[in-house]
Structure 1
Amino acid sequence: MNRQPHANSREIIVANAIEQVVGELRLIDVADYIAFIRLEHFACLSDLVDSAAELYFHAGTLRLGHGGEAHVDWSGSPRIVLDLELRPPGATVYFQLTLSEHGASVVVNYVSFEKPSEDPEDNTALLAAVIEQARIRKAEPLAYR
């Protein structure tokens, strides 16, 4: 598949948007990921993603897509790849999140817009805006008098 020139900027937007969720997902033991993926217990995997996302996004905004992959062998560190969907109002992003020993990475496979612009840069700006709208805002602490 040929990468589009705007793919990198969209990957950065998605990676920044889910950074805190990734922190939550990294708290889960890698053995659990391996077990759920190998045994095809994708509902359990979906619950983990939903639980990690619920603190940062409105319900249903970030969810498990078609499953995941566990790359495990005797010579290296495990690598978990999750197919995820980010669904803020007006757009859908299909991407893969890779979790490894030293970090995480995002690869955007496809972005669909309800009302796309002819200009890819306008679409990228729209993506950033709708993702921001889908975030849960933390309430400001009340000031005591």
Structure 2
Amino acid sequence: MIKQPHASSREIIVANAIKEVVGELRLVDVADYIAFIRLEQFGCISDIVDSAAELFFVPGALKLGHGGEAYVGWIETPRIELDLELRPAGATVYFTLSLTALHASVEVNYVAFDRPEADPELNTAFLADAVERARIRRTAPVAQG
């Protein structure tokens, strides 16, 4: 697939939006991801993603897509790839999250807009705003005295 010129800016939007979720996903042992993927227990991975996402996004905004892959070998660092969907109001981003021991990356595969504009830059700006609106804002507790 040929990458579109605006894809990298959209990958940055998605990566920044999910970085806290990635931290939560890393709390699960890599061996568990490998087992769930190899045994095709994607419901378990979906539950993990849902639990991590509910801390930072409105319900349904981030979920597991079609599954994932585990790349494991005798001489390579394990890599887990999860197909995810980010669904802020007005858009759906289909992307792959890749996790290794020291790195995480996002590759946007496709973005569908409910009402796309002719200008890709306007669509990218809309996506950034929509993702921000889908995030849960936590406020500091008020001290009672």
| C-alpha separation in 2, matches of 1:140 and 1:91 | 30
Counterpart residue number, 2:30: 30
2:105 partner SS: strand
Give the letter aligned to residue 61 of structure 1: A
What are the Cα deviations for residues 109-130 of structure 1, in whole angstroms up to 9, with x where unaligned? Answer: 0000001111100000000000
| Structure 1 segments (4+ residues) deviating >3 Å | none
Counterpart residue number, 2:52: 52
| C-alpha separation in 2, matches of 1:27 and 1:40 | 20
Give the letter aligned to residue 59 of structure 2: A
Percent identity over the alignment is 68
**Unaligned ranges ≥5, structure 2:** none
1:136 partner SS: coil
Give the letter aligned to residue 58 of structure 1: V
Written as runs of structure 1 = structure 2, the 5 A alignment for 1:1-145 is 1-144=1-144
Superposed displacement of residue 143, structure 1: 4.5
1:5 partner SS: coil
What are the Cα deviations for residues 78-111 of structure 1, in whole angstroms up to 9, with x where unaligned? Answer: 0000000000100000000000011100000000
| C-alpha separation in 1, matches of 2:89 and 2:68 | 25
Give the letter aligned to residue 97 of structure 1: L
Superposed displacement of residue 140, structure 1: 3.5
| C-alpha separation in 1, matches of 2:144 and 2:37 | 49
| C-alpha separation in 1, matches of 2:128 and 2:69 | 28
Superposed displacement of residue 76, structure 1: 1.4
Give the TM-score normalised by structure 2: 0.97
